[in-house]
Amino acid sequence: MSTGSFAVPASPRQDFASGVVHSLPIVAGAIPFGFLLGSLAAKAGLSALDMGLMSALVFAGSSQFVAVELLDKGSAGLAVVGAILLVNLRHLLMGATLEPRFRGVSRARAGLALFFMTDEQWALALRRGPELSLAYWYGVATTLYLAWLSSTVAGTLAGTLIADPAAWGLDFTFIAVFLCLLAGLWRGGGSLPPWLASAAAALAVHALSSGGTWHILAGAVAGGAVAALQAKGQGRTRNA
């Protein structure tokens, strides 16, 4: 089996271990966040089994929070599924940026690997750059997956133990994680225009809309469009 554009590590075991180690700071933020989600799910009437299946099959924190909120309001199943798909549409853009790494990898193997793609997994993959390998990818994926699954189930089992999650600062944990990931992706002034475009679009849509998750998609599309225009302009400059 060809490994495509993935780097071939000297030792897959060491590369896997590197993925585990690099994911540990993210796990530190994911566990309380997952526990919070599980607690909210219990209040919405979900069982530990329900939460476990959702985390195992969806594995997307932001969309799971939206789903739990909708279930708590008694929304129809199709509305919940539609909301999950909407929130996760940004993964189309994220996956496109990883396409060069998966060239030559069979569709089955690529599809399985991309099932584990989260915002954090994607950010670490980009930071890894040319040294990214499937072993490293699965080192990160396995660690995040098990941590998320166990923490959300534990939170559901704890039920309503946490009356006010915000009072404990649990709702800020992933914000801190994302800020750290952004800092690691900073590549100088050229990184700023896509970030500003994404932030402006997301804030504008959020202010103009009456709830929902359209601001997430708007931010992803705006940031991706500006980044694409930047890359196109740089290509023209090099060919001039």
Choice between 229 and 108, residue whose per-residue pLDDT is larger: 108
pLDDT digits (tens, 9 = 90+) for 156-177: 998 766 666 556 665 565 566 5
| Positive or negative: CA dihedral 141, 143, 145, 146 | positive
Q: What is the model's pTM?
A: 0.69
Neighbours of 237 (CB within 10 A): 8
Predicted confidence band at 186 (pLDDT cuts at 50, 70, 90)? Answer: low
CA 15/CA 1 separation, integer angstroms: 19
Report the mean per-residue pLDDT for the chain: 79
Quick check: 2 and 127 in contact, CB under 8 A? no
Alpha-carbon distances, residue 148 vs 45, 118, 134, 178, 233 (angstroms): 20, 11, 21, 16, 40
Alpha-carbon distances, residue 74 vs 38, 79, 140, 230 (angstroms): 18, 10, 35, 44
CA 236/CA 232 separation, integer angstroms: 6
First to last CA, the chain: 40
Q: Which two tokens stand for residue 158?
A: 């704890």
pLDDT confidence of residue 7: 55
